[in-house]
């Protein structure tokens, strides 16, 4: 079995980090994928250093070997807070109103990608498969190629891919997308994002798409496919059966005192639609005065990317909205929205999910959304809660038996909350059974196996010869 060199912006091993929570779905998924595959996980430590040295900090934690580098404050500012999270993230979530274009961000992004390439290079051995993750590192594959890496390399994008007419608003978009074409495999969460990518490549770059869907790039064939990510089902269920999960469940259940409970768990991010969600709940309370006092919304929202102004703004907006709705609908013994700005370990979340009657997952745009899948996995099959899910989350394609909503319509979400609260047990069980089958079968191991097979399949011949790779797939470190 080839080793996997996994490269992502951030490297985070949840168990070792004290299971503080809030790592985001990518870290959770990569941990699970790597525990079962030999290899190394390389990326930024999350720490800053005065001057970049490229020093690799190697560790082995919970069966996963990690190699991390520290970055300079200017790197973090221009690459992570800048190009990644003020330019690409909003653009890829269709928010060109929030997208900032700054030459320094672009330069910082390229500089840090080059630093990643230089630092990871000595770790790559001839037979390794190199698997790069997400929008932070789109040009990394081409930089590795320039340094002589001939190994099979793949990219998986965890976010949506925007429609062409939005993407062309990005200065130098052709250069960015062309750099991605040095990967052998490019993976997306859904067919929709894949189609947007293919549309761009064909219309803007004028490249032919072959009958089997591969991109013909100067005679070299690039596999572009959808690989929907899943959760580590077995690990999650184990956590859900733990003493901590039971304790978290019982504590929450006791605190709501027989009221119905809805739960939301999201990083504090404008893409998650939290403001619209709160407004929809406010509307539900106004439209159903008979039920006001009977339903509580618990929203767990750990802060995220707090150095970026749009994230500070969303935090202020939500505080105002919570105060407004609670002010209008609370009484001396009841507060409708419990808004919690901290992260919890997933075993606790599992207990919270199970205690809830409704999971409210209403992002305006989301690559996948693993919380939706965790909510399903945590339910009691005999008496399951109902999942209300945004039609704009990647997860909606696999979880079509959830109650799908348009998160922009407070009316639709409010009516769907009512429907979920009134749903008969038989229908809840029926829907849950189908949802559970999907979450269990299409888990993170399945995702990893599918992607690695595509990467490896390419290695076995599939049109890769024109890359100039030699038979061993070895790279020339001196190049
Ligand atoms: O590293 P951060 O800046 O703190 O952000 C956390 C992660 O957020 C994003 O997660 C995405 O990946 C999930 C798993 O595939 C997916 O379910 C979700 O829809 C995406 O938003 C981001 O893409 C990651 O790079 C971040 O690590
Ligand atoms: O307090 C928290 C909040 C979230 N998460 C985890 O963070 C991930 C969020 O992934 P998702 O795909 O839903 O969204 P992302 O944050 O990656 O955009 C899920 O595994 C959650 O269980 C956590 O461990 N603790």
User: Is residue 372 within 6 Å of ligand 1 at its C-beta?
Assistant: no
Which residues does a 6 A CB cutoff place in the pocket of ligand 2? Answer: 21-26, 28, 265, 267, 300, 302, 343-344, 346, 349, 368-371, 374
Residues 6+ apart with CB under 8 A from 313: 270
The pLDDT score that the predictor gives to residue 113 is 98
Do the domains 233-441 and 4-230+443-467 match in fold? yes
Q: Tell which one of 17, 24, 368 to mutate to probe ligand 1, the residue whose CB is within 8 A of the most ligand atoms.
A: 24
Per residue in 308-319, pLDDT (tens digit) is 999 999 999 999
Ligand 1 lined by 304 (C-beta under 6 Å): yes
Closest Cα to atom 25 of ligand 2: 21
Q: How much is the ipTM here?
A: 0.99
**4-230+443-467: CATH, from 3.40.50.720, 3.40.640.10, 3.40.50.2000, 3.40.50.12500:** 3.40.50.2000
The answer to whether 366 is a known catalytic residue is: yes
Q: Which residues of the chain have pLDDT under 70?
A: 13-24, 458-479
What architecture does CATH give domain 233-441? 3-Layer(aba) Sandwich (3.40)
Per-residue pLDDT reduced to its tens digit, 344-363: 999 999 999 999 999 999 99
Residue 26 Cβ < 6 Å to ligand 1: yes
- The predicted structure's pLDDT at residue 91: 98
Ligand 2 atom nearest residue 19's Cα: 24
Q: What is the pLDDT of residue 212?
A: 85
* Cβ proximity of 186 and 197 under 8 Å: yes
In angstroms, the CA 225 to CA 16 distance is: 33
Evaluate: CB of 76 within 6 angstroms of ligand 1.
no
In testing the pocket of ligand 2, which one of 16, 18, 25, 354 has its CB within 8 Å of the most ligand atoms?
25
Q: What is the pLDDT of residue 14?
A: 59
The full set of domain ranges for the chain reads: 4-230+443-467, 233-441
pLDDT confidence of residue 36: 74
Active site residue 77: no
């Amino acid at each position: 079995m080839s080793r996997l060199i996994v490269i992502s912006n951030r490297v985070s091993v949840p168990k070792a980090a004290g299971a503080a929570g809030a790592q985001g779905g990518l870290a959770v998924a990569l941990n699970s994928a790597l525990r079962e595959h030999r290899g190394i996980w390389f990326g930024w430590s999350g720490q800053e250093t005065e001057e970049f040295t490229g020093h690799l900090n190697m560790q082995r934690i919970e069966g996963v070997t990690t190699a991390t580098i520290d970055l300079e404050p200017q790197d973090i500012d221009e690459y992570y807070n800048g190009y990644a999270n003020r330019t690409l993230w909003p653009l890829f979530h269709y928010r060109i109103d929030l997208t900032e274009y700054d030459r320094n961000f672009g330069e910082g992004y390229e500089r840090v990608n080059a630093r990643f390439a230089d630092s990871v290079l000595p770790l790559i051995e001839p037979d390794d498969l190199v698997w790069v993750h997400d929008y932070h590192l789109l040009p990394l594959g081409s930089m590795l190629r320039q340094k002589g890496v001939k190994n099979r390399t793949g990219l998986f994008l965890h976010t949506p891919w925007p429609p062409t007419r939005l993407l062309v608003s990005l200065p130098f978009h052709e250069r960015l997308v062309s750099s991605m074409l040095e990967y052998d495999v490019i993976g997306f969460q859904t067919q929709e994002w894949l189609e947007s990518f293919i549309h761009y490549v064909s219309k803007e770059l004028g490249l032919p798409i072959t009958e089997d869907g591969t991109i013909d790039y100067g005679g070299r064939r690039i596999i572009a496919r959808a690989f929907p990510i899943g959760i580590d089902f077995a690990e999650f269920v184990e956590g859900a059966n733990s003493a901590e999960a039971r304790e978290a469940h019982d504590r929450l259940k006791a605190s709501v005192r027989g009221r119905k409970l809805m739960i939301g768990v999201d990083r504090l991010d404008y893409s998650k639609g939290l403001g619209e969600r709160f407004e929809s709940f406010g509307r539900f309370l106004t439209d159903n005065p008979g039920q006001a006092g009977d339903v509580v919304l618990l929203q767990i929202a750990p802060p995220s990317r707090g150095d970026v102004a749009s994230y500070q703004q969303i935090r202020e907006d939500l505080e105002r909205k919570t105060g407004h709705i609670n002010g209008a609908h609370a009484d001396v013994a009841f507060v409708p929205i419990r808004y919690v700005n901290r992260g919890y370990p997933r075993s606790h979340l599992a207990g919270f999910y199970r205690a809830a009657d409704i999971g409210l997952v209403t992002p305006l745009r989301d690559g996948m959304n693993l919380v939706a899948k965790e909510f399903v996995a945590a339910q009691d099959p005999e008496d399951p809660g109902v999942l209300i899910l945004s039609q704009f989350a990647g997860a909606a394609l696999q979880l079509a038996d959830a109650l799908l909503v348009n998160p922009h319509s407070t009316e639709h979400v409010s009516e769907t909350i009512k429907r979920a609260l009134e749903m008969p047990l038989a229908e809840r069980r029926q829907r849950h059974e189908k949802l559970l089958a999907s979450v269990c079968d299409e888990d993170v191991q399945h995702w990893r196996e599918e992607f690695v097979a595509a990467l490896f399949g390419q290695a076995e011949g599939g049109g890769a010869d024109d890359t100039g790779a030699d038979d061993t797939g070895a790279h020339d470190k001196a190049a």
